[in-house]
Chain A
Amino acid sequence: MLSIKNLHASIEDKEILKGINLEVKAGEVHAIMGPNGAGKSTLSSIIAGNENYEVTQGEINLEGEDISELAPEERAHKGVFLSFQYPVEIPGVSVTNFMKTSINETRKANGQEEMPANEMLKLIREKSELLEIDRKFLSRSLNEGFSGGEKKRNEIFQMAMLNPKLAILDETDSGLDIDALRIVANGVNKLKSKDNAVIVITHYQRLLEYIVPDFVHVLYDGKIVKSGGKELALELEEKGYDWIKQEQEA
């Protein structure tokens, strides 16, 4: 599904990613953990195509195709989804209108007709139930005045609507209380299939109790310094990131 090879990236001449290698296969869940400033959010932004970062070296392949030169919307059309750590507000644009535009632009790019209104409605109903979202919420302006938890739940709702091949969840657990966390995790689990893949970026092990990863990677100073199974997350929780730091600096 996703294959990242020797990825180097910088912002304003400061190198943030220093040679990332990552292989994610369909049906897998990968967790990327690491201390603040390790480059976790940078990595997710770069996969999504944020042009504020400059890729200086390396490749990002999605299903065998190098996507590193594609515009962010083109990557989205190919099935890349990023659940933002800080979703932005768009005043006056309702969640429904935004989703409708998003889905139809994606369909248009893929040579499909616009989604018929009744189908759209059905999809909205189904997915809002999955995320336990009150449908009144969907006529509110996108993220405007949403609580932290509502914003994150709305991100996962969008993921459910778009049904991406590759979903990257950037700190989706931050700002969620335990009930919301369960709902969001449950949503993600239900969306998981053998045909798609999920990358969970998180600081804490908490979310991984609900979304169980097949692989855990530790990102430190722009590199993946450790990879393992789900038990690595527990070990990290126990020993703290200082353990990694000491190991690296030793």
Chain B
Amino acid sequence: MSKYTEDDLKIELENKEYEYGFYTDIESETFPIGLNEDIVRAISLKKEEPQWMTDWRIEAFRAWKEMTEPNWANVAYDKPDFQAISYYSAPKKVDPNKTLDDVDPELLAMYKKLGISLDEQKKMNNIAMDIVVDSVSVATTFKKTLAEKGIIFCPISEAIKEHPELVQKYLGTVVPQKDNFYAALNSAVFSDGSFCYIPKGVRCPMELSTYFRINQAGTGQFERTLVIADEGSYVSYLEGCTAPSRDENQLHAAVVELIALDDAEIKYSTVQNWYPGNKEGKGGVFNFVTKRGLCEKNAKISWTQVETGSAVTWKYPSCVLKGDNSIGEFYSIAVTNNFQQADTGTKMVHLGKNTKSTIISKGISAGKSQNSYRGLVQISARADNARNFSQCDSLLMGNNCGAHTFPYIESKNTSAKIEHEATTSKIGEDQVFYCNQRGIPTEKAIALIVNGFSKEVLNKLPMEFAVEAQKLLEISLEGSVG
């Protein structure tokens, strides 16, 4: 009988291999495992950093030593042994002065597997790309085109050397070194990441993009991204992530800081597909990320994220709406399957008058996964006429997964208007049968239903990314009807 049952679907789903789970054998230079002040200094030295940067790292490291890992999130995992990780790994053949043509052919082959051939990227002409493998930024395309507009887009290690005034002025202003355990760790050991500066009044003519990949075993990845949109400027920034399949957990603790000065706008989109672990819940990336943006007067920051990967995700892209009339937005799709756990959401901190924030969160849980939305809307005493609208929708597949919503609201101003809506639904057999009856096979039907559910968020992604995100959703979720 050709009957395709829920059980068949589940089995097929569990057996779906992680598509990006290959490992490229590139000779790497990796530091010995463990973390102490000497390692921090060594990283700084390796990157030929100025003294102020070394001091900044040491300060962060000392703070981190006194901190403990947070455990308030709705996730359960074996805490990583921070002394068992190597804090620096770099593909050996990369020389920062080399052009694209000199990049290690094996690296290029890896990008091809990822579907992001640099050649193609060059031709596409609308996305400038920085690629971070393990800890080091490998190549930045389009630097010249951007430079003509005065836009700086380069590895942060390069920015520290070439634009120290900007880095020194803004680094750690939105996410201070001591902000939280992982941010402190990142501040101490970050090895690379992207830096972006858009000058006053400039509208960045192309999407800027960073592609992160963890390749080397037993290493952590700690990127640091700093985006500064000067007054009246605009930039759209994309970030993609993958990692090979490994049995042990890998640690990813990034920090992203966005600064939108008066009248500026930053759109930051992420498609995160770190290795989620196998169907028994072994392996996978621990994704502990701090992302925060600061809005000055009339500025706008919009976070859009599609989270399908990682074994454990702990991530709350937030906006500090400091300037009057500033706007913060958060659009999120978080998919969990098998034993994945995600605790993700946002913080909207309203400080200025007439500030507005919108939160649209779509959680999709399948298998035995746990998916939590955690959000804070905070209205300060002087934030007159602040507005927030939050909508948290959860879609469940099967009977073994969980969806949780933790919305926190703190309002100290009576003129605030805060709305919160939440729904939970299940993909119904009747929906699937209806699609089947119209000739749409079950797999396709689920993709259709999930895409429909996620549409409000998918629509916020830039075109090229939306297509990739839709495919990812299909891969992560084929099957699992309950």
The one of A77, A87, A101, A141 in contact with B434, judged by C-beta atoms closer than 8 angstroms, is A87
Question: In the complex the two chains form, is A92's CB within 8 Å of B454's CB?
Answer: yes
Query: Is the interface on chain B under 10, 10 to 19, 20 to 34, or 35 or more residues?
Result: 20 to 34
A:1-58 near B, CB below 8 Å: 48-52
Q: Is the interface of A mostly helix, strand, loop or mixed?
A: mixed
Interface stretch (choices A65-73, A121-129, A176-184, A238-246) = A65-73
Q: Give CA–CA (A73, B435) in the complex, Å.
A: 8
Interface centre among B437, B439, B453, B455 (most CB of A within 10 A): B439
| 4 further A-B pairs in the complex, CB-CB below 8 A; given A71-B4, A84-B434, A92-B452 | A71-B2, A72-B433, A92-B456, A98-B438
Shortest 6 CB-CB contacts between residues of A and residues of B: A92-B452, A93-B452, A72-B436, A106-B439, A76-B439, A92-B455
Q: Which residue on chain B has the smallest CB distance to residue A87?
A: B434
In the complex, per-residue mask of B424-458: 1 if CB is within 8 Å of any chain A CB, else 0? 00001111011111111110100011011111100
- Judge whether B438 and A76 touch: CB under 8 Å: yes
- Is the pair A93, B436 in contact by a Cβ cutoff of 8 Å? no
B437→A48 contact, CB < 8 A: yes
- A93-B448, A101-B448 known; A73+B3 contact, CB < 8 A: no
Known contacts: A69-B2, A93-B449. The answer to whether A102 contacts B439 by CB under 8 A is: yes
| Residues in B lying within 8 Å of A, measured CB to CB | 1-5, 428-431, 433-442, 444, 448-449, 451-456
- Least CB distance from B233 to A in Å reads 33
Do residues A105 and B2 form an inter-chain contact, with CB atoms below 8 A?
no
Assess the A49–B440 pair: CB atoms within 8 A.
no
Can you list 21 A-B pairs with a CB-CB distance of less than 8 A? A49-B436, A50-B433, A69-B1, A69-B2, A73-B435, A76-B439, A80-B437, A90-B435, A91-B453, A92-B452, A92-B453, A92-B456, A93-B449, A93-B452, A93-B455, A97-B448, A102-B435, A102-B438, A102-B439, A106-B439, A141-B452
Which A residues fall within an 8 A CB radius of B? 48-52, 69-74, 76-77, 80-82, 84, 87-93, 97-98, 101-103, 105-106, 109, 141, 158, 162
Nearest CB on B from A231, distance (A): 33
Contacts of B439 in A (CB 8 A): 73, 76-77, 102-103, 105-106, 109, 162
A110 to chain B, nearest CB (A): 9
Contact of A102 among B430, B431, B440, B442 (CB under 8 A): B440
Which residue of the partner chain B has the closest CB to A81? B437
Q: Is the CB of A52 within 8 A of B448?
A: no
Separation of A44 and B442 alpha carbons in the complex (Å): 20
Q: How far, in whole Å, are A82 and B433 apart by their CA atoms in the complex?
A: 11
Query: How close is A41's CB to chain B, nearest CB, in angstroms?
Result: 13
Q: Which residues of B contact A101 (CB under 8 A)?
A: 440, 444, 448
Give every chain A residue within 8 A of B448 (Cβ-Cβ).
Answer: 90, 93, 97-98, 101
- Cα A50 to Cα B1 in complex, Å, equals 13
Known A51-B3, A71-B3, A71-B4; judge A90-B449 contact (CB<8 A). Answer: yes
Q: Complex Cα distance A106/B437, Å?
A: 11
Question: Please, how many angstroms separate the alpha-carbon atoms of A109 and B439 in the complex?
Answer: 9
In whole angstroms, what is the CA distance A57 to B346 when docked? 57
User: Of all chain A residues, which has the CB nearest B434?
Assistant: A88
Expressed in whole angstroms, the minimum distance between the Cβ of B451 and any Cβ of chain A is 7
Contacts of A50 in B (CB 8 A): 433
Beyond A69-B2, A71-B4, A74-B2, is A90–B452 a contact (Cβ under 8 Å)?
yes
Q: Which residues of B contact A87 (CB under 8 A)?
A: 434
Nearest Cβ on chain B to A206's Cβ, whole angstroms: 25
* Nearest CB of chain B from residue A60's CB, rounded to whole Å: 14
- Within the assembled complex, what's the spacing in Å between the Cα atoms of A45 and B400? 29
CB distance from A89 to the nearest CB of B (A): 8
B431: A residues at CB distance < 8 A: 88-90
**Contact: A93 with B451, CB < 8 Å?**
yes
Decide if A158 touches B456 in the complex (CB within 8 Å).
no
Give the docked Cα–Cα distance between A51 and B9 (Å). Answer: 15
Q: Nearest residue in B to A48 (C-beta to C-beta)? A: B437
Query: With a CB–CB cut-off of 8 A, which chain A residues contact B452?
Result: 90-93, 141
- Answer whether A92 and B451 are a contact pair too, CB < 8 Å, given A72-B433, A77-B439, A102-B438: yes
Residues of B contacting A49 in the complex (Cβ-Cβ under 8 angstroms): 436-437
B435 contacts which chain A residues (CB < 8 A)? Answer: 73, 90, 102
